[in-house]
Amino acid sequence: MGRLISPGARSQSFVMVYSVSPVPSDAAVAIIGAGQAGLAVAYYLRRFQLDADVDFVVLDRSPSTGGAWQFRWDGLRMGSAHKVNDLPGMAELGISFETADRSLPAKDIVAGYYRRYEDHFGLAVHRPVAVTSVVNRGADLVLRHSEGETAVRVLVNATGTWGSPFVPYYPGAGTFRGRHVHTNGYVSSEEFRGQNVVVVGGGTSAVGFLLELEGVAATVSWASRRPIDYSTDHVRTIEGGVAAVRDADAAARAGQSLPSIVSSTGVPLTRKVAAGISRGLLKERPMFVRVEPNGVRWADGSFTSADAIIWATGFRPELRHLAPLKLREREGGVTVESGQVWTDPRVFLAGYGPYASTIGANRSGRIIARQIMAQL
Ligand SMILES: Cc1cc2nc3c(=O)[nH]c(=O)nc-3n(C[C@H](O)[C@H](O)[C@H](O)COP(=O)(O)OP(=O)(O)OC[C@H]3O[C@@H](n4cnc5c(N)ncnc54)[C@H](O)[C@@H]3O)c2cc1C
């Protein structure tokens, strides 16, 4: 496959939030990742009177606050995101995503609110600190990271999925002369001005890209494996996807690879989306059969030229650094029940499987913190 643009390669300006204190070499608990899932665990541990940098340590490899949200594209506004749930205890700060300005980029709002949240609750996140591997040393788990090593008794992995983009295999993808871009490398429609673009995917991100590209790109085509599941039920937001959560839970308990919750919630049929359908912009075709050097070939033999293919095809849990712990089952996933890894009860996966949404992340924070307290 041709070059994928990685999030690190994007031209973005961040408010760098560097920590000044050194990373402790040991603690009872380590949390890897300060997105919604990691912050929720840290918050509940504080509620249980545990102190950051004494009892628990939080490490995050990104330059700023906001978890994966800090990397999302400007065009993803608070009003076009599914729904970002408040972190537990956020009301104490007098802020809420519910009342945030819907016209502003979600990445700025989330990064700003998380920054205030971390400060207010004294979560002492160390960043940028990338954990490269976690290994066993006696009864301890040792995190190897960019600042050295930290030994702990309990590990909470809350690393999300943003760093692990999924691109399905299509014959010929490697021969493409244009640009392959995954959702996590998309910056703005301007990059595609005057180009022929094919967008792949059946979720909200794909729809958002199509709406942004209209009138900027020369042509826009849309391919999806399944017909689009438009949802007029405004309650059917991420937390309303009960069936999706149930399926993800069953897969996690069985150690299987996970279905995506976010992509199974349907595309909200907003006024903007409905208008896009009626003017013919939002008209998906079944997946092309092959990628060729200058475009894509459809099942009926017709051809569409393309300068870029945007893969809005989702993500997988980012667990590579846990490989030495051999948590992965033959079924392809990790067996996880109520956030705890079945084969190694010292390890918790926050925001994983049924908890992969902002509301789920809050829930997993509470459940995991309680189990940690029972273990310490
Ligand atoms: C395009 C898109 C839109 C979405 N919209 C919504 C929405 O509207 N509502 C909703 O509820 N959910 C939405 N989601 C899902 C959303 O991402 C999750 O709900 C939530 O933000 C994930 O939180 P998290 O803490 O699990 O992961 P993240 O926010 O990804 O946080 C993980 C953190 O771990 C850090 N990290 C990763 N690996 C390492 C490592 N090795 N060492 C150190 N640190 C590491 C990262 O730097 C990051 O800060 C969306 C997802 C996508 C892809």
Give the model confidence (pLDDT) of 158-172 as tens digits: 999 999 999 999 999
pLDDT for 16 beyond 60: yes
Spacing, Cα 257 to ligand 1 middle (Å): 18
- Give buried/exposed letters for 119-156 (b at 16+ CB in 10 A, else e): eebebbbbbbbbbeebeeeeebbbbbbebeebbbbbbb
Pick the closest to residue 30 from 111, 148, 161 (CA basis): 148
pTM attached to this predicted model: 0.92
Residue of 16, 60, 236 to test ligand 1 pocket, by largest number of atoms within 8 Å of CB? 60
- Please say whether the beta carbons of 173 and 1 come within 8 A: yes
Spacing, Cα 125 to ligand 1 middle (Å): 16
- Give buried/exposed letters for 221-256 (b at 16+ CB in 10 A, else e): bbbbeeebeebeeeeebbbbbeebbebbbebbbebb
Q: Which protein residue's CA is at the shortest distance from atom 18 of ligand 1?
A: 357
pLDDT in tens, 227-283: 998 887 655 555 556 777 888 889 999 999 887 665 666 788 889 999 999 999 999
Strand partners, 58: 31
Domains of the chain: 15-163+315-375 (3.50.50.60), 173-311 (3.50.50.60)
Question: What are the structure tokens assigned to 17, written together?
Answer: 């939030």
Backbone angles phi, psi at 271, to 5 degrees: -60, -40
- In 3-state terms the chain splits into helix, strand, coil percentages (rounded to 5) of 30, 20, 45
pLDDT in tens, 65-102: 999 999 999 999 998 888 899 999 999 999 999 999 99
Report the mean per-residue pLDDT for the chain: 91
Pick the closest to residue 360 from 224, 271, 258 (CA basis): 258
First to last CA, the chain: 47
Residue of 155, 162, 209 to test ligand 1 pocket, by largest number of atoms within 8 Å of CB? 162
Sign of the torsion formed by the C-alpha atoms of 66, 70, 71 and 77: positive
Spacing, Cα 233 to ligand 1 middle (Å): 25
Ligand 1 closest atom vs CA 145: 42
Residue of 36, 143, 212 to test ligand 1 pocket, by largest number of atoms within 8 Å of CB? 36
Strand 340-341 and strand 336-337: the pairing is: antiparallel
pLDDT band at 4 (very low <50, low <70, confident <90, very high): very low
pLDDT in tens, 319-344: 999 999 999 998 889 999 999 999 99
Spatial separation of the C-alpha atoms in residues 278 and 273, rounded to whole Å: 9
Residue 31's alpha-carbon distances to 291, 296, 300, in angstroms, are 41, 43, 51
Strand partners, 199: 222, 310
The alpha-carbon radius of gyration of the chain (Å, integer) is 21
Spatial separation of the C-alpha atoms in residues 116 and 361, rounded to whole Å: 19
Pick the closest to residue 31 from 374, 364, 312 (CA basis): 364
Provide CB contacts within 8 A for 32, sequence distance 6+: 38, 59, 60, 131, 143, 155, 156, 157, 158, 159, 321
Ligand 1 proximal residues by C-beta, below 6 Å: 32-38, 59-62, 67-68, 72, 81-85, 130-131, 158-160, 162-163, 183, 205, 238, 262, 315, 318, 321, 351, 357-358, 361
pLDDT in tens, 287-321: 999 999 999 999 999 999 999 999 999 999 999 99
Distinct helix (H) and strand (E) counts, the chain: 6, 19
Spacing, Cα 121 to ligand 1 middle (Å): 20
